[in-house]
Amino acid sequence: MTLPSQAAIVVIGGGIIGCSTAYHLARDHKADVILLEQGKLTSGSTWHAAGLVGQLRSSASITRVLKYSVDLYKGLEAETGLATGWKMTGCLRLATNTDRWTEFRRLATTARSFGMDMHLVSPEEVKRMWPLMDVSDLVGASWLPTDGQASPSDITQSLAKGARMHGAKLFEGVRVTGFEMKDGRIVKVKTSAGDVACDKVVNCAGQWARQVGAMAGITVPLQPVKHQYIITEKLEGLAAAAPTIRDPDRRTYFKEEVGGLVMGGYEPNPQAWETGLAGGDVPDDWEFRLFDDDFDHFEQHMEQAIARVPALETAGVKQMINGPESFTPDGNFILGSAPECTNMFVGAGFNAFGIASGGGAGWVLAQWVVDGEAPLDLWVVDIRRFSGLHRDRRWVADRTLEAYGKHYTVGFPHEEYESGRPRIVSPLYERLKAHRAVFGSKLGWERPNWFAPEGVEARDVYSMGRQNWFAAVGEEHRHVREKVGIFDQSSFAKYELSGKQAQQALDWICANDVSRPPGRLTYTQLLNTRGGIEADLTVARLADDRFYIVTGTGFRTHDFGWIEDHLPDGLDAKLVDVTEQFGTLSLMGPRARDVLSAATDSDVSDAGFPFGHVREIVIAGHAVRALRITYVGELGWELHVPLAATGDVFDTLMKAGAKHDIRPIGYRALEALRLEKGYRAWGSDITPNDTPQEAGLGWAVKLRKNTDFLGRRALEKASGEPLKKRFAGFTVDAPDVVLLGRETILRNGEPVGYLTSGGYGYTIGKNIGYGYVRNADGVSDEFLASGNYELVVAMDRTPTRIWLEPMYDAKAERVKA
C-alpha cells in the first residue's frame, strides 16, 4: 500500500461519520480527499451500534440533517449496489404519565412545525401495532411513521463504496500518529505509513477523536460510556415490520432483528469507560472489541423490558453487546471548525445517534469544510459552543454521565444540570445567595435565575405547567418596570480589539456602522456569506484604536473565533478575550439614574450621558466602564467593573439605591422583560439561517453606506425581492397556555411558521411568543395584517394576536397590548 504524499483533504476515521463525510466531499464537491482508518472500516463504535434511526430534534436544522439521513439511506443501495438494511418501520414512543404525555403533545406540535407528521395514538392502537406489548400502564404513544432502522456496518460500507465511486481514496490499517503544524495550522498528517501534506483535516475518529484532536492542541470534549443491549432469539408473533419502540419511562428501546428483538436502555447510573492508560486514552487496538457482559448492571433494563414485553421472560438471548459509545456533556454531537486550529474540522461525539445522524452530518460537515462556514444553523452541535472549561476531563466526564442519565427522562422546560457545580462564580456569588438566589449555570458560570421570597423554597420545582418560580419572577419583573433592579451579568463574554486598523477590521466584519467617534456604542450583527446572522453583539469604541466588544455568555468561543477568523490579513488589529477581567452589573429601571447619580460624581444626566454612549465613571473609588444600553426596555446602564471591585461597586449601588427599593434581579425576569420589548435572542430568534431584513433588524445594517462588509453581497442580491419570511410577535390571552418555542403558527388555518421563543409578559399580562411567518410568494405588511392567527400549543389550537412592534413602550409609559 502506498499512501499519497499529499491531498487537499484528509478524513481521519472510517466509521459511518468519516465515510459519509468522504462520500459527500467526493460526490458533492469533487474534492481531492483521502480517508485514513487505523483498523478496518466500521471499527470502533459503528459496527456494534443498535441502528435505530429517528429524526425529530428540538432544532429545525438538526431535524433537517436527520431527515436527510433517511432520504440518503433510502436511495443509497440503488447508487452503490450495496444494501443498507434500511427499513422504514416507524417509531412508537410510549407515555405512561401525564408529564410524558404533555411532552409528547409538544413534540408532536414541534414535528408538524418542522414539516413532519407525528401522530398521537391510544393504548389500543399501540396494542394493535405491537401485539406482544403490555399496554395496561400507557396513557398513549407518539407515532412517527418515517422513522426506522438500518444496519450500521452495511450503511458504512455502502457510503465507502460511494465515496470510492466518486473519486475518494480510502486506506485501512493506517494510524495517524501526529501532525506537523505551521502558524497554528496543520500542514502534514503523520501516519504509520508516511506523511501526507494537506490543506484541511476532518477528525471523524469516533471514540479516538479526543486523542486525535489533542495531537493538534484541540479539545474535543467527549467521554466514552459503556452501553449495553441484547439480541434475542426469535419471538413468536413478532412481525418483521414491527415499529421500533422507545419506552422512555422504562428507559428502554426495542427494534426487530431477524425475528427477535434488539433491546437496550439508558440507565440513571451509567458507567464511564475510564481506562488505565495515561490520560485515560482509548487503546489503539480497541477496534472490534467489547467489554465483558455485565448482567448485574443490565438487570434494571431486563426487568423493565419484561414488564413491557412479557414474552421476553422466556426468550433466549443470542448475544449481549457491551461496547463504548462517545457521549458529550450536553447530549448533542460535535461538528465544525476547531477554534484552536482552523483547518481541523471535527465530526464526533454522537451520543448513540451516529447512525441516525450519519448521512446528514456528513453532508453538512463536507459543506462546512469546503466553504469554511456552516451551511445551516448548526449552533447546537457547533464545537465552538464549548470553552476552556471543557479541557477539564473530570468535569466533562461527570457532566456527560449526567447527560446520559437524562437521555430518557422527561424534558422539563428550564431544567438545569447539577453536576460539576458551582464551577465559575462571580465575586457576588455569596452576596446573591444571601438574597436567596436560585442559580442556573451557563458555560460553567453560576448565574441567578430568580430570587426566592421568604416562605418559598429556594430551588426549582420542575413541571410542565407554570413552575414554582412564576410568581416570584413576576414580582422581579414588575420591580424593574416600576423601580430599579440590579443584574449580575459578569458572565458576559468580553473582548478588546486594538490596533491602528481595528476600525477597518470591524468595518468588514460588522453589518452596522462602527465608525463612530470614541465614546459611542454600536449594536450590530455579524453576518455570514449568505447574509445570515452569525453573532449579535455590542461594540463600544473606547479610543480611535481600541474597541470593547460584549456578547452573550454561551457564545464566548464562537463569537471570538468568528471575529478572529474574519480579521482581514495584514491589518494591525489584535483581538484579546478579557472576560475574566471585568464583572458586569446591569442597573435597570426608571430609578436607575437616581441610584447611579448617588453612587458617582460623574454626570449621568440624559444630556451628559446619552443613550448609546460609553463613559468611564468612578464608583466606590474604582474606574468603571459604563455603557448606556438596555435589554429590558427601561432606562439603564451596563457597568463593567474590574472583577475584584465588583463586590465594592455592588455594595455601593445597593446602599445608594436603598431608598429607591433597589433589589437584585435574575435572568428569568430578564427574559420576560426582553420579550415584552421585542428584543431578539441569538440562537433562537435570530440565527445563521436568518437575515437582518427577515428579522426586522435591517435598520442596523449599513447598506446605504459605501462600505463593503461580510454578507453585503447576499443582502444586496436579495434586495428588491419580496421577503419570504418575517419576524413577528404573538400574544395569547389564555392564562393556562405555556409558550416555550416551536409552537406552530397558523394563518387562516394554514401553517405558516413556528415560534422561535416564548414566555410570559407580566406587565402586559399575556403569553408572548416570537417567530417567523413564511409565505413563498412574499410576506408583506398587508399579508401579515390581513390574516387570522392561531397557535398550536401541545396540539391544541388557541387564538393569538400578531404584533409587528414592541408590546411595551417605556417612553410612552403605556402598555400597547
Q: How far apart are the first and last CA of the chain?
A: 73
pLDDT at residue 814, rounded to an integer: 46
- CA neighbor of 817 nearest in space, from 628, 651, 671, 676: 676
Residue 285 zone, left/alpha/beta (φ > 0; ψ -120 to 50; rest): alpha
Q: What are 707's three cell numbers?
A: 462600505
Between the CA of residue 418 and those of 402, 404, 407, 440, 554, what are the distances in Å?
8, 13, 15, 9, 17
- H/E stretch holding 158 reads helix 152-165
Are 518 and 456 within 8 A, CB to CB? no
pLDDT at residue 290, rounded to an integer: 85
CA distance 170 to 7: 12
Burial 481-500 (b: 16+ CB within 10 A, else e): bebbbbbbbbbbbbbbbbbe
Q: What are 187's three cell numbers?
A: 500542514
Signed CA dihedral, 231, 236, 239, 243: sign only: negative
CA distance 685 to 536: 11
CA distance 116 to 354: 21
* DSSP bridge pairs for 586: 487, 638
Structural domains of the chain, ranges and CATH numbers in brackets: 6-85+150-222+330-385 (3.50.50.60), 91-145+224-325 (3.30.9.10), 582-660 (3.30.1360.120), 710-815 (2.40.30.110)
pTM higher than the cut 0.75: yes
Are 562 and 497 within 8 A, CB to CB? no
pLDDT at residue 278, rounded to an integer: 56
Between the CA of residue 726 and those of 129, 230, 631, 797, what are the distances in Å?
42, 49, 22, 22
User: What are the φ/ψ torsions at residue 754 (nearest 5 degrees)?
Assistant: -150, 160
Are 793 and 741 within 8 A, CB to CB? no
* DSSP bridge pairs for 382: 335
Q: For the chain, which ranges sit under pLDDT 50?
A: 812-817
Q: What are 417's three cell numbers?
A: 444540570
pLDDT at residue 47, rounded to an integer: 72
For the chain, the residue count is 817
What is the amino acid identity at position 13?
Answer: G
- H/E stretch holding 213 reads helix 209-214
CA distance 238 to 236: 6
Q: What's the chain's Rg over C-alpha atoms? A: 27
- H/E stretch holding 562 reads helix 556-565
CA distance 429 to 427: 6
pLDDT at residue 810, rounded to an integer: 60
Strands 140-144, 119-121: parallel, antiparallel or unpaired by DSSP?
A: antiparallel
Signed CA dihedral, 495, 533, 350, 312: sign only: positive
User: Collapsing DSSP states into helix, strand and coil, what is residue 265?
Assistant: strand
Strands 663-664, 119-121: parallel, antiparallel or unpaired by DSSP?
A: unpaired
CA distance 254 to 270: 19
- H/E stretch holding 28 reads helix 16-29
H helix intervals, 81-114: 98-113
pLDDT at residue 813, rounded to an integer: 45
pLDDT at residue 277, rounded to an integer: 61
Are 490 and 443 within 8 A, CB to CB? no
Q: What are 49's three cell numbers?
A: 451500534
